[in-house]
């Protein structure tokens, strides 16, 4: 079977099952299988894949037919120009969350100390540290399994010359994170956090409990409920983080959140009530409210 034949078979099967973006999913699976980029995959479409590779590919297609996320099949997801390991213990990094990272980077000074609450895969904190100078950060999560993923991602950014970096701007070259600048802590929110920070950033669980059963299968059935469920009104973790953040922020420190599209107003009210000033809402590329931040 050639790469082109495998692509056509895979797309046909996913489309028959009603899987959206079937062509994109199959391309990603074949790129991962063959170790090539998009251009090479199609330029060498007549290249034969081995019987073993065909079996691996068709097994991946079968898993995708069951709505298993393609990122969990390949074990990786690109975010902020870096490739992060992911599994079912962490949320899959999404483009919407890049808006949060970009807004923090605009306000981030060299040498700042950053706290990433509900760090998951570590993609937010590690991206901030990667694209800044001399900053240090602490990632916090209640899930030991999620922290294992974050530590793995940090370790590869620190140690691996071959870490897959896909720069969005040219000429930056390779860069490593410094091991002593990164720490991950297992903690129920701030319980085991010590010290003060210039920036606190969080993409907390914010989906209302009653909405979770209505989510698409890929999210509802496979992504970790612990990282999705924002309790009854979706605001539980915002309340808890906002209430405690002033104790952990230096004077003039800033708190950044990713939010659901309909949560800006209550999150702003909570932040202002806690003493945050200049509270700002930032929209994503779909013109939906996506980030709220303010300074203490």
pLDDT for the residue 156: 84
Is 98:79 a contact under the CB 8 Å cutoff? yes
- Token look-up 């890929």 returns 218
Judged against a pLDDT cut of 80, whether residue 165 lies above it is answered with no
pLDDT at 174 exceeding the cut of 70: no
CATH architecture of 79-295: 3-Layer(aba) Sandwich (3.40)
Q: Which two tokens stand for residue 94?
A: 């999404």
Percentage of the chain beyond pLDDT 70 is 93
Q: Is residue 171 over pLDDT 50?
A: no
CB-based contact 129:181 (threshold 8 Å): yes
Distance CA 252, CA 268 (A): 17
Pair 257, 202: CB distance under 8 Å: yes
Q: CA-CA distance, 49 to 133, in Å (whole number)?
A: 44
Instruction: State the angle between helix axes of 22-34 and 3-16 in degrees (0 to 180), rounded to the nearest 10.
Output: 140
The length of the chain, given as a count of residues: 296
pLDDT above 90: percentage of residues in the chain: 86
DSSP string, 186-249: E-STTTT--S-EEEEEE----B-TTTGGGS-HIIIIIS-GGGTB--TTS-HHHHHHHHHHHHHE
CA-to-CA distance for 241 and 244, rounded, in angstroms?
A: 5
pLDDT mean over 67-73: 97
pLDDT (mean) for 121-134: 95
Beta-carbon contacts of residue 23 (< 8 Å; ≥ 6 apart): 11
Q: Shortest CA distance to 131 belongs to which of 103, 96, 152?
A: 103
> What is the pLDDT, as a whole number, of residue 159?
59
CATH of domain 3-66: 1.10.8
Examine the pLDDT at 131 and tell me if it is beyond 90: yes
Q: For residues 40-52, give the mean pLDDT.
A: 88
Q: How far apart are the two ends of the chain, measured CA to CA in Å?
A: 61
pLDDT at 274 over 80: yes
pLDDT, tens only, 184-226: 999 999 999 999 999 999 999 999 999 999 999 999 999 999 9
In the chain, domain spans: 3-66, 79-295
Whole-number pLDDT of residue 172: 42
Q: Which pLDDT band holds residue 18 (cuts at 50, 70, 90)?
A: very high
Is residue 176 very low, low, confident or very high in pLDDT (cuts 50, 70, 90)?
low
Q: Give the C-alpha separation, 5 to 74, whole Å.
A: 20
The pLDDT of 139-168, averaged and rounded, is: 76
Give 259's pLDDT tier (boundaries 50, 70, 90): very high
Burial letters 259-276, b for 16+ CB under 10 A, else e: bbeebbebbbebbeebeb
User: pTM for this structure?
Assistant: 0.91
* Distances in whole angstroms, Cα of residue 130 to Cα of each of 21, 133, 167, 263, 294: 31, 8, 12, 29, 23
Spatial separation of the C-alpha atoms in residues 277 and 295, rounded to whole Å: 5
**pLDDT band at 38; cut points 50, 70, 90:** confident
d(CA 152, CA 182): 12
What is the pLDDT of the chain when averaged over all its residues? 92
What average pLDDT score do residues 142-158 get?
93
Burial class of residue 135 in the structure, from the number of CB atoms within 10 Å of its CB (0-12 exposed, 13-18 middle, 19+ buried): buried
């Amino acid at each position: 079977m050639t790469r082109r034949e495998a692509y056509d078979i895979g797309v046909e099967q996913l489309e028959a099952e009603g899987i959206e973006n079937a062509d994109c999913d199959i391309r990603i699976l074949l790129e991962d299988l063959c170790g090539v980029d998009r251009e090479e995959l199609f330029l060498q479409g007549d290249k034969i894949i081995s019987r073993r590779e065909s079996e691996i590919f068709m097994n991946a297609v079968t898993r995708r037919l069951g709505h298993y996320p393609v990122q969990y099949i390949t074990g990786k997801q690109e975010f902020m120009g870096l490739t992060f390991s992911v599994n079912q213990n962490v949320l899959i990094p999404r483009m919407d969350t890049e808006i949060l990272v970009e807004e923090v980077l605009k306000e981030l000074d060299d040498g700042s100390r950053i706290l990433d609450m509900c760090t998951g895969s570590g993609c937010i904190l590690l991206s901030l540290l990667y694209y800044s100078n001399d900053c240090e950060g602490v990632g916090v999560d209640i899930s030991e399994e999620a922290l294992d993923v974050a530590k793995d991602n940090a370790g590869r950014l620190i140690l691996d010359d071959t870490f897959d970096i896909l720069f969005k701007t040219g000429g930056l070259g390779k860069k490593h994170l410094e091991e002593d600048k990164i720490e991950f802590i297992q903690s129920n929110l701030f319980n085991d956090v010590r010290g003060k920070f210039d920036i606190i950033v969080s993409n907390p669980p914010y989906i209302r409990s009653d909405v979770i059963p209505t989510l698409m299968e890929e999210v509802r059935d496979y992504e970790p409920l612990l990282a999705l469920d924002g309790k009854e009104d979706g605001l539980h973790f915002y309340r808890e983080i906002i209430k405690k953040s002033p104790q952990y922020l230096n004077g003039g420190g800033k708190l950044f959140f990713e939010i659901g599209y309909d949560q800006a107003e209550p999150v702003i009210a909570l932040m202002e009530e806690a003493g945050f000033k200049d509270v700002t809402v930032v929209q994503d590329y779909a013109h939906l409210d996506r980030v709220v931040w303010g300074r203490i």
